[in-house]
């Protein structure tokens, strides 16, 4: 019985680290999905669906373009869409 109690703390730490890893990994996947979403969003016909997508990715847009990650964000999104200014 004593052995089970000692293992409980270790099990708790494993669950904490596992949860933290899943959260960080999930957030990374969410932010990195911004590139494909920017590429596919103009091809979606429904304005309602497009507005939901735009609202969903506001935090990813902030992380990629309003933080020191901007050079990475510019590079990464430019792999999916052309970011060069349109000549007028």
17 and 44 assigned to the same domain: no
Q: Within 10 A of 34 (CB to CB), how many other CB atoms are there?
A: 20
73 and 39 assigned to the same domain: yes
Domain hosting 2: range is 1-26
In this model, does residue 87 exceed pLDDT 70? no
pLDDT of residue 70: 95
Percent of the chain surpassing pLDDT 90: 75
Q: What is the pLDDT averaged over residues 73-77? A: 95
pLDDT of residue 84: 80
pLDDT averaged over the chain? 88
Query: What's the CA gap between 23 and 12, in Å, rounded?
Result: 16
Q: What is the pLDDT averaged over residues 58-72? A: 95
In this model, does residue 66 exceed pLDDT 90? yes
Helix, strand or coil, per DSSP, at residue 83: coil
37 and 60 assigned to the same domain: yes
Q: Is 87 inside any structural domain? A: no
What CA–CA distances, in Å, run from 36 to 29, 42, 45, 79?
11, 11, 16, 9
Q: Are 31 and 60 in contact (CB under 8 A)?
A: yes
In this model, does residue 58 exceed pLDDT 80? yes
Look at the pTM and tell me if it is higher than 0.85. no
Q: State how many domains the chain has.
A: 2
Q: Is 88 inside any structural domain? A: no
Query: What's the CA gap between 79 and 23, in Å, rounded?
Result: 26
């Amino acid at each position: 019985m004593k052995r089970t109690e000692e293992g409980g703390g270790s099990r708790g730490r494993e669950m904490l680290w596992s949860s933290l890893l899943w959260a960080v990994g999930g957030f990374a996947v969410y932010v990195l999905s911004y590139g494909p979403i920017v590429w596919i969003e103009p091809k979606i016909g429904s304005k309602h669906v497009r507005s939901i997508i735009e609202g969903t990715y506001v935090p990813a847009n902030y992380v990629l373009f309003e933080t020191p990650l901007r050079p990475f964000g510019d590079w990464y999104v430019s792999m999916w869409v052309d970011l060069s200014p349109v000549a007028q």
